[in-house]
Amino acid sequence: MKPDDFLEPLHVIRRMSIPHCAKGPRGCAKCREAAKDVKIYLLEVYFDPGTMTRPMIEVSAKGEKHLLVYDIINSFKDENEARNYAKKNNLKLVEE
């Protein structure tokens, strides 16, 4: 499957922390601190990386794994709110 097979961005719900920089927790003290703040987010992931440097996550789409750029659309106050949103919008909660 090629990225061209996906014209629209995908919405993904994922439990994660927001990285401070590209070095990540292994190379940056601020990233180590940020990694402690794990929340559930609604992400919009794009198959076209664009021209700016952006954070990336691994996402399975149509049976294949892809490393994709993302934007945070929303955060949920708890798992129940995320589950209700996922059910209403036919999304799957992804535990990472």
Amino acid code (one letter) for 21: C
pLDDT, one tens digit per residue, over 27-84 is 999 999 999 999 999 999 988 877 778 888 888 877 888 888 999 999 999 999 999 9
pLDDT of residue 1: 46
Whether the Cβ atoms of residue 20 and residue 32 lie closer than 8 Å to each other: no
Q: Which domain holds residue 39?
A: 3-94
pLDDT, one tens digit per residue, over 13-23 is 999 998 888 88
Regarding pTM above 0.85, the answer is no
Whether the Cβ atoms of residue 47 and residue 66 lie closer than 8 Å to each other: yes
Domain count, the chain: 1
pLDDT of residue 73: 96
Whether the Cβ atoms of residue 59 and residue 95 lie closer than 8 Å to each other: no
